[in-house]
Structure 1
Amino acid sequence: MDHFKIDVKKEVNEFLDKNIRSTHEEWERIQSGIRQKKKKTLKFNPVYWTVLVAAASLFLFLSVTYIGDLNKGTSSMTSFSIPGLFNNENQDKDLYEGKELFIGVLGNIPEINEKQISFQVIELEQFTVNEIRKFDAVFVMKESLSTAAEKQYTKVFTDSNIPFFFLNSNKGEYPFIDENLEYEEAREIPYHDYYATGYLATVEGEEMTWTYEEKNALSNIFKTIEKALPKIFKSETINE
């Protein structure tokens, strides 16, 4: 510390000694007051405690009411339920409501909620152009993807003129319409994770494809099939 600061400090102390007098008791009171400010506790807030007690009472009341309803064999949750949250309301509104469809399945038949959809399992020996033209569409399920992509079935997909849907596959339609591409060697569709892909080669030579996310995929596929019906080759046209 330099001489200037020392001199100033000395003069201040001398001034305090000459002009400020306090007893030991006064210093104790001053220090006690400082300690009390440091240890200041939260003041009682009547509004806060009133709200807290009211909330606790309401929770207790609702709990007792709910338990009482359970004992009676009924549930009060019904009157407080959010529409579509704990039931099938949201699912039902997205269901397919169109005309009846007859769909062939290569693999296991999927579970659905629609009543107007009929499935029939297709055996491999029946997986030919003539045999599957009686269907409105064909589902190729996960367990049959690799087999269906074998080159002897390529013409079934390209010449049947009905839509095919490859479920639980993100490899698109290429493994099934390219006889030189095996399913295991096919690449996943980049930057996507599709649940299903649809493919239709029409009589006019047009190729149509669709992709689906997993949510409501089957119901959306049924809607696609109905829209594609005018483009689907039907065996009845042979006799016209």
Structure 2
Amino acid sequence: MMKRIILNALIILIVIFTTGCTSIADTVDTPLYSGKSLSLGVVGEIPKIREEHVHFTNISFDELEDYSTLSSKYDAVVIMKEHLQEADDNKYIKVYTNAGVPFFFIEATKSFMPFVLEDVSFEHSSLTNFNYDMYVTGYFQTGEAYKSWGYGLYNDKVNEPNIKDVYSRIFTTIESIENGTYK
């Protein structure tokens, strides 16, 4: 009887320890973005974030086409995974290359290229990020110069804390773009 109690207690301790270690290993505790307030346009569902001074506004692809006003309304535009296939339509290339704001493509594992190169389809593209573990791809162009970013998840684990961490890092990148140029 005593052996059984000790064995059950040992099993419970092992389960608790293993579960605790797994959750710690799968997430990272990173600082919140603490920079200036940001206003972002989002095509798709507004993501869950940790920061209270970052505000999202739902926008449509029709609104994107009027790209001359995007930089006066938003610090950046986020396009969610469900809309990536539509986002790679050739008619939006002018938007991404002339809007004067950065674009962030959520779960775009095939780099930014399908969005800014004619006749390169997101769905059929063999182009991938240089690192295969990117969760978000960012792109910003001013004139002929452009900058791109890739954001991975901690330990490649898709979970809420890791996704919120990626957004905090994106916000820091957005803040580093001042007056249409990357610092």
Q: TM-score range by the shorter chain?
A: 0.7 to 0.9
Q: Please point out which of 157, 163, 174 is paired with 1:225.
A: 174
Instruction: Give the AA of the match of 2:134.
Output: Y
Would you say 1:193 and 2:133 are equivalent positions? yes
Matches for 1:86-125 after TM superposition, within 5 Å: 91=29, 93-125=30-62
Structure in which a larger fraction of residues adopt helix:
1
Aligned CA distance change for structure 1 residues 182 and 119 (closer, same or farther; 3 Å): same
Quote the offset at 1:185 in angstroms.
1.6
In the alignment, the residues of structure 1 paired with residue 76 and residue 131 of structure 2 have an alpha-carbon distance, to the nearest angstrom, of 28
Instruction: Give the AA of the match of 2:180.
Output: K
Task: Determine if contact 1:136/1:229 at 8 Å carries over to the other structure.
Answer: no
In the alignment, the residues of structure 2 paired with residue 191 and residue 100 of structure 1 have an alpha-carbon distance, to the nearest angstrom, of 31
Counterpart for residue 183 of structure 1: 122
Taking structure 2 as the reference length, what is the TM-score of the superposition?
0.73
Task: Determine if contact 1:98/1:226 at 8 Å carries over to the other structure.
Answer: yes
Quote the offset at 1:193 in angstroms.
2.1
Matches for 1:34-73 after TM superposition, within 5 Å: none
Aligned CA distance change for structure 1 residues 185 and 111 (closer, same or farther; 3 Å): same
Gaps of 5+ in 2: 1-5, 10-23, 155-164
Task: Give SS of 2:176's match.
Answer: helix
Larger radius of gyration: 1
Quote the offset at 1:187 in angstroms.
1.9
> Which consecutive segments of 4 or more residues in structure 1 shift more than 4 A?
none
Q: CA RMSD in A?
A: 2.8
Quote the offset at 1:192 in angstroms.
1.6
Task: Determine if contact 2:113/2:127 at 8 Å carries over to the other structure.
Answer: no
Q: Please point out which of 112, 118, 133 is paired with 1:173.
A: 112
Structure in which a larger fraction of residues adopt strand:
2
Task: Give SS of 1:195's match.
Answer: strand
Quote the offset at 1:152 in angstroms.
1.1
Task: Give SS of 1:154's match.
Answer: helix
Task: Determine if contact 1:104/1:121 at 8 Å carries over to the other structure.
Answer: yes
Taking structure 1 as the reference length, what is the TM-score of the superposition?
0.57
In the alignment, the residues of structure 1 paired with residue 84 and residue 131 of structure 2 have an alpha-carbon distance, to the nearest angstrom, of 21
Number of residue pairs the alignment of both structures matches: 152
Task: Determine if contact 1:163/1:199 at 8 Å carries over to the other structure.
Answer: yes
In the alignment, the residues of structure 2 paired with residue 106 and residue 114 of structure 1 have an alpha-carbon distance, to the nearest angstrom, of 19
Task: Give SS of 2:123's match.
Answer: helix
In the alignment, the residues of structure 2 paired with residue 223 and residue 147 of structure 1 have an alpha-carbon distance, to the nearest angstrom, of 27
Gaps of 5+ in 1: 1-55, 60-84, 234-240
Task: Determine if contact 1:198/1:210 at 8 Å carries over to the other structure.
Answer: yes
